[in-house]
Structure 1
Amino acid sequence: MSGPGLRKRRVSAPSGLSLVAGLVFVIIAAATLGTLAWGLWWQVAKIAAPLTLVFCGVVGIVWSQRRSRPTRPPH
């Protein structure tokens, strides 16, 4: 009973991770836009917006590098 259940979870794990990553990206983007729209936090937004874009770019590059890399490093 536990065998097939574990297999199903392992198969759906990559799609679940990408879905979570997409949600996190949307939340970060919404937070950045909200900060930009908030007049009192304009100085913070000026710094936070570019940093958020850079952070998302770095995460995207690292994510694609990890996915293209083989799971087991050669010995």
Structure 2
Amino acid sequence: MLGPDIEEIGDLIITVTRVFGTDSSISAHATSFLRIEDGKIVSIDEYWGDDGEVPKWRLDMKIGMKIR
């Protein structure tokens, strides 16, 4: 796992991290939104995106594009 990019906006902390499988055959990005109150995490929302091939259904619908 590479170190995260971190942004702090008021009581919200946003992190973006690239995560690899133990054998590095797969990778994904995780974006986390942590809400802080009185120095403690009160909520977390997290979203994961697979860095693999574009799914066939998205290719068929011509949605999105490969970034790299």
With a CA cutoff of 8 Å and minimum separation of 6, indicate the structure with the bigger relative contact order. Answer: 2
Same fold (TM over 0.5): no
- TM-score by length of structure 2 reads 0.23
Q: Which has the higher helix share?
A: 1
Q: Which has the higher strand share?
A: 2
